[in-house]
Chain A
Amino acid sequence: MTAIAPARPSAGWRGFGRLLTTEAKVWLRDYASPFFGIVFPTIILLGVGYFIPGMRDPILDAPPDSVWYGLTPIATFLPTVLAMAIGTAALTVMPVTVATYREKGVLRRLSTTPMRPQGIVASHLIINIVTTLVGIALALVVAQVAFGVPVPTQLGVVVLAAALGLCAMFALGMLVAAVAPRASAANAIAMSIYFPMLLVAGLWTPGPIMPELLRQIGQFTPLGAAAQALTEGWFESGFPTLQLVVMAVYTVVLVPLAVRLFRWT
């Protein structure tokens, strides 16, 4: 307001690099969080592949001209596992971290310093997106090494579906993070969304064997749409317009909503 206090546009983000690295280091000390984001989807993939009989035998009861003929069931399960990787850190880890910081007054403490409290939210977005990408990469490598899953028929569609799915799920996670007053509440809300999401993403009925009604419902959810778009891009030849639009709409609607509803205390 006067000449003594010149506007310093960078002031609110001074020290963000240190904040990000410190947060990442401290976050890694909570072994559960990195574990869920990175390893959990791959464990599900390995568990289903090795412990459910017939998952590694080629599908021979589909019509010989269908895209599924000759694939292994575990291969058709991969888009579900990728969707799970996309949704796990976004929904089960990040909102709980942010709500814990709100509950413990960390966000409030930060707001007394020149660093904006947005900085800590941004750092956890970055940490969890990186975790998610590592989780996806791990699942892809293991799927290739352990089960010889074929390469996608439409790589561009797969990348687009994964990117939009990530945006939609992080937008949903941000909304939970924005409104949950306490860590326990964040956890309860996240879990009550996460498990239905896994259902529509095909955890119990992947790709070709998903009942039509579940598929119809699932295409309007962020994670169901992601799994369906990934399946389409990986094995089929169509363009999953509806699913991609659904994910984009979730992102565009939920992000401003989360920003508007976000409570610092």
Chain B
Amino acid sequence: MTQPVVEVTNLRKTYGPKVAVDDVTFAVRPGEIFGILGPNGAGKTTTVETLAGLRRADGGTVRVLGRDTQRDPAAVKDLLGVQLQEAALHDKITVGEALRLFAGFYPNPADPDELLALLDLTEHVDKQFGRLSGGQKQRLSIALALIGNPEIAILDELTTGLDPQARRSTWDLVERVRDTGVTILLVTHFMEEAERLCDRLVVIDAGRVVADGTPSGLIADLDTDRTVVVRFTDDAHEPARAVLDRLAAEHPDVTGVAEPNGVPGEIAVTGTPRVLFAVVPALAAADLVPDDVRTVTRTLEDVFLAVTGRTYDQDDEPAHAAEGDRS
């Protein structure tokens, strides 16, 4: 395995009696998008702020590019780009001025014009920060994190408060940035975002790592059950249910048949990963043509449920996201 670019070992951080980070360990490899996923208040932001040298740890070690950022926070600032949760610029500074200003702080800055193009900000170069939309502010914030030509970029809750379309284009952007060779440490409370973007991730809950691995690996490790949902019109529903019930009784790959409430006419068939192969020929033999067939995919939400015993209900409201994560 290649040498990790970020190594966090048994990190602990408390604020008075409150334990923000209890015990967090992970390592990030060069060139990957590494996710820190967890509900608000789980300790994600504290973790990255500590590894960036912005906060003092109470225990554990933090190494970024081989350097101890607790002992010498300035050592990696040239090579670490950070996008903080809140946008933070003077309302009257323009996009171009902000980029050139930040470029001046670094020894080998990126070309501001190239970054503007990469982040679709070229047409807004003369716009003042206070007049940018939420998505534009986020993109500028990412641009500022990248202006120093960093080896590692920390992106903290970068799509919070964005509409779904802006969120998706921001995800494309993060992948484009990774393709330029930057290692990305992505902090998020969106399961979907982590699943879509991260090569590997840790799930943090109440200051501890509760799961780590690749998104697909974590999901695959859950269990081996698969579910196929078929939907029939009213007249075909009864005979189909009968065929599938018989199948469940006889076929080794099929373990259960249920009618989940919700969509009328839907029948859910559960079994081994080969359940689909059992369902399709049985329906074909009876000439029962479903209106719709879909397989139920498990997500990281199921992983979270499995490791914490709690459902992951985070709402998408910016107000909620803003209050919790300082802790």
Contact = CB atoms under 8 A, between A and B. Distances in A.
| A and B associate in one complex | yes
A233 to B, nearest CB: 39
Given A112-B52, A114-B78, A4 B88 contact: no
A26 B97 contact: yes
B175 interface: no
B148 A11 contact: no
A112 B49 CA distance: 9
Contacts of A29: 92
Contact of A108 (B66, B74, B76, B84): B84
B101 A11 contact: no
Interface string B72-104: 101111101010101111101100010011111
A104 B84 CA distance: 12
B101 A15 contact: yes
A264 to B, nearest CB: 9
Contact of B100 (A4, A11, A18, A106): A18
Given A15-B101, A113-B102, A1 B75 contact: yes
B101 A12 contact: no
B68 A1 contact: yes
A30 B76 CA distance: 35
B262 interface: no
B66 A113 contact: no
B106 interface: yes
B54 interface: yes
B110 to A, nearest CB: 14
A108 B107 CA distance: 21
Contacts of A22: 93, 97, 100-101
Contacts of A12: 74
A4 B105 CA distance: 20
A171 to B, nearest CB: 25
A17 B71 CA distance: 29
A13 to B, nearest CB: 9
A241 interface: no
A14 B101 CA distance: 11
Contacts, number: 84
Interface string A1-45: 110110000011011011100100110011000000000000000
A2 B66 contact: yes
A142 interface: no
B136 to A, nearest CB: 17
A135 B66 CA distance: 52
A108 B88 contact: yes
A250 B148 CA distance: 41
B56 interface: no
Contacts of A104: 86, 88-90
Contacts of B92: 26, 29-30
Nearest to B93: A26
A108 to B, nearest CB: 6
Contact of A113 (B72, B77, B97): B77
A109 B78 contact: no
B77 A14 contact: no
Contacts of B104: 14-15, 17-19
Nearest to B92: A29
A114 B72 CA distance: 12
List of 3 A-B pairs having minimum Cβ-Cβ separation, nearest first: A15-B104, A105-B88, A18-B104
